[in-house]
Amino acid sequence: MDQQKVDILISSSVWDPRPWVEGLSKSSWVGNVHVWPTEADLSNVEALFVWKPLADGVIDRLPNIKWISSLGAGVDHLMTDSQIPRHISITRIVDPFLARDMTNYVIMGLMMHQRSMLSHMKHQKSKIWERITYKPLKVGVMGLGALGRHLSEKLVSLGFEVFGYSRTRKTLDGVTCYDETNRNTFLSQTEVLVNLLPVTPQTTDILDASLFQKLTKGAFLINVARGNHLVENDLMEALDSEHLSGALLDVFRDEPLPINNLLWEHPKVTITPHVASVTTPSSAIALLLDNLKRLRGKEPLLHTVDIRKGY
């Protein structure tokens, strides 16, 4: 084995692995790039790149594994996987394109809601000229990490009143920031709630009936983080009772969303298939290669996950 080069295994059950293989293979730091499933000898593989979930038995085939990276921002698929030894470094993607695309998606959803765009589209079909008024909105962003922070700053520059919520209190220009000690104050002002939290034991099911009740009447939900944050029945009840006015959902407990899930047909729900922000391989590969050099140089890896916190 060339001592400088690192052998890599890619396990991607959702995305096409080819752009990753092609991009990584161009680097002189990279040796063999394998794609799971494979019968090849994987005993020299030191880095595993995963987009979710990891098949059973993968880690058993990697006696020399030193580093695992999620190919997305989220790491919930790795945190809950008991086959991963706790001493292995786990990193994730923090990337300007990922933040840009998430911000653009949320702004799209927010604008469509603020400007009643779905109603205008329905009216056009029946040639109805109805001028629907709109008002400024107060937006609450749950999660002020790489994505929530970028979004909040852009929303401020677009003229929205923005509230932010995170585990540790942040200071962000133009954003009123809250933490767990004053969560109710955050919620009681929020007219559009954007969820950008990671899934952890503390945040699972956080979007439930009691949280919805604390939001302003008529509030709108945008869930772009994970399906496990949302109690689906509680959302449908809050919509049916008209406490909430609508929801834009990109992520679900079960993906693909099962055909018989009632959310599909709910008149106040808009669904997209986990496309709010998809990692751009060419950009993320630069980060992976940077970390690969750090691995070789025995330097700390970038964007390491804190396993105790779970994100």
Which among 144-152, 185-193, 238-246, 283-291 is the span making contact with ligand NAP, rule CB under 6 A?
A: 144-152
Over the Cα atoms of the chain, what is R_g? 21
Q: Which one of 44, 77, 120, 145 is in contact with ligand NAP (CB under 6 A)?
A: 145
Contact positions with ligand NAP (CB under 6 A) in 78-137? 98, 102
Task: Report the alpha-carbon distance of residue 162 to residue 139 in Å, rounded.
Answer: 5
Chain centroid to CA 148: 10
Q: Given 150, 226, 229, 266, which residue is catalytic?
A: 226
Contact positions with ligand GLV (CB under 6 A) in 260-289? 279
CB of 48 to ligand NAP, least distance (A): 19
72 touches ligand NAP (CB under 6 A): yes
Task: Report the alpha-carbon distance of residue 90 to residue 67 in Å, rounded.
Answer: 6
CA separation (Å) from 130 to 100, 126, 266?
Answer: 34, 11, 24
Pick from ligand NAP, ligand GLV, none: which does 24 bind, CB < 5 to 8 A by kind?
Answer: none
CB of 311 to ligand GLV, least distance (A): 11
CB of 142 to ligand GLV, least distance (A): 15
Token digits for 269? Answer: 């729900």
Query: Is position 18 annotated as part of the catalytic site?
Result: no
User: Do 47 and 292 contact (CB within 8 A), yes or no?
Assistant: yes
| Number of residues near ligand NAP (by CB under 6 A) | 30
Q: Given 34, 113, 229, 274, which residue is catalytic?
A: 274
Task: Report the alpha-carbon distance of residue 271 to residue 311 in Å, rounded.
Answer: 26
Find residue 246's DSSP bridge partners.
220
Contact positions with ligand GLV (CB under 6 A) in 73-102? 73-74
Contact positions with ligand NAP (CB under 6 A) in 236-265? 250-251
H or E stretch covering 223 = strand 219-223
What lies within 8 Å, CB to CB, of 212 at 6+ separation is 219, 221, 234, 235, 238, 243, 244
Closest to ligand NAP by CB, 91 vs 277, is 277
Query: Is position 274 annotated as part of the catalytic site?
Result: yes
Q: Which one of 72, 140, 148, 227 is in contact with ligand GLV (CB under 6 A)?
A: 72
Task: Report the alpha-carbon distance of residue 77 to residue 51 in Å, rounded.
Answer: 8
Closest to ligand GLV by CB, 17 vs 74, is 74
Task: Report the alpha-carbon distance of residue 99 to residue 109 in Å, rounded.
Answer: 16
Which phi and psi (to 5°) does residue 23 adopt?
Answer: -65, -45
Which among 67-75, 106-114, 210-218, 259-267 is the span making contact with ligand NAP, rule CB under 6 A?
A: 67-75
148 touches ligand GLV (CB under 6 A): no
Catalytic residue positions, numbered: 226, 274
